[in-house]
Amino acid sequence: MRYATTIIIGAGQSGLSMSKHLTARSIDHVLLERGQVANSWRTERWDSLRLLTPNWQTRLPDYSYAADDPDGFMTKSEVISFLQQYADLSAAPVVREARVLRVRQEEQGYQVSTNQGIWRCQKLVIASGACNVASVPSLSAALPPAVISLSLLQYKNPDQLPNGGVLIVGASASGVQLAREIQASGRPVVLSVGEHVRMPRTYRGRDIQWWMNAIGAMDVRYDSMEHIERARRLPSPQLIGTPERVTVDLNSLRQAGVSLVGRIVGVHEGTVQFSGSLANTCALADLKMNRLLSAIDDWVKSNGLIDELAVPPYRPAPTDVGPDTELSVNLMAAGIGSVIWATGYRPDYSWLDVPVLDRKGRIQHDGGVVAAPGMYVMGLPFMRRRKSSFIDGAGDDAADLAAHLNQSLTRAAA
């Protein structure tokens, strides 16, 4: 039996950021990591994946990107190196290959059972991430046996796919990236589009993330939102990180040969049915994008930056879904041999034997403070700020929660 004042589960950006702030406060802790530092990036992401945020925005407490390509986008291997270097430089007390099997509450804290033995702690920080399990709808079970079905955790590159067309379900960041990659490999792609957030990669000469930071959008707090649960469920924006900083949207994908269909609503005897609301869905996404661009234009005017920008205001062309959108596709007749479910992820709390989950298995918290004494969670979408699930958001959230944790320890010792 081993003891630490605080146990952090997970050694990704959130866990490492919390460790840095606890170290600064001289709070004894360990990080239990199921694999190696940045394990999800090492084992559960496709080969070509890059960050959606520019390199200059890749920053953690007292550490940030310092090479010669600030406007580029880190590859998977570069992200792994970045996080590993941070762990090494900060001397984070990581226990590697320590898979958590069960957490249960005790009178003075928590007992954490792992494959390396049992730990006890007063405070527990769950920093295991929001992308542990692929969210694949139950209707996937109705696909014909001959059709390969892959989740985002299983897809690595186009070479693993069989010959023939590919149906990609989901058109947020992951879906549009995979549609572009697979279409370029020579395979016909059908993209099933549901609710999405459209964004240009650059606007008026600067990256959209620069603008989001400038206008304060990424620092909006959870407790200022009227409908925070709705905001937390919004899909990731249609962005892709490339050296050329290209914008990939439904228009560019359609021009490249990708076929667009609506949200998937059913599968029956090899035929996939789609919603007829594709045009309306895209019009709503266009409307929200234009509101964002108008907010940027207003900020430029109010800050007197008009003369500094060489590019005047403009609006991307409205999404064109074409005149005749298919409402159903017979997979075998259309030559579609595989389906990729780009339908997002969800956390895995199957090991958490504490009554803090709602009926959908989501952890209940108030800005990362969980509804159980001494328990915290990090890295979830819009947890404390809009940027909470980004690398750039981990440090600020960790600072807040470390302060809360420290105050709790101080009160208990008084």
Give the Cα separation of 296 and 96 in Å (integer): 44
- Reduced to 3 states (helix: H, G, I; strand: E, B; else coil), residue 226 is coil
Upper half-sphere CA count for residue 51 (Cβ side, 13 Å): 24
Give the Cα separation of 402 and 405 in Å (integer): 5
Res 132: pLDDT: 84
Looking at the DSSP bridge assignments, the partners of residue 114 are 100, 117
pLDDT digits (tens, 9 = 90+) for 176-186: 999 999 999 99
CB atoms within 10 A of CB 62: 11
Upper half-sphere CA count for residue 109 (Cβ side, 13 Å): 19
Nearest to 47 by CA among 147, 148, 193, 185: 185
The secondary element (H helix, E strand) that includes residue 7 is strand 6-9
Q: 69 with 56: CB under 8 angstroms?
A: no
Mean pLDDT per 10-residue segment, the chain (414 residues): 96 97 98 95 92 97 95 96 97 97 96 98 95 91 96 96 96 97 97 97 95 96 96 95 95 97 96 97 98 96 79 95 93 97 93 95 96 96 96 97 97 78
Q: Is the dihedral angle over the CA atoms 303, 304, 308, 313 positive or is it negative?
A: positive
Helices (H), 165-277: 173-184, 208-214, 228-232, 250-255
User: pTM for the whole thing?
Assistant: 0.94
Give the Cα separation of 215 and 231 in Å (integer): 18
Res 413: pLDDT: 76
Q: 262 with 223: CB under 8 angstroms?
A: no
Q: 279 with 331: CB under 8 angstroms?
A: no
Upper half-sphere CA count for residue 182 (Cβ side, 13 Å): 31
C-alpha distances (whole Å) from 49 to each of 170, 228, 260, 392 are: 17, 29, 23, 18
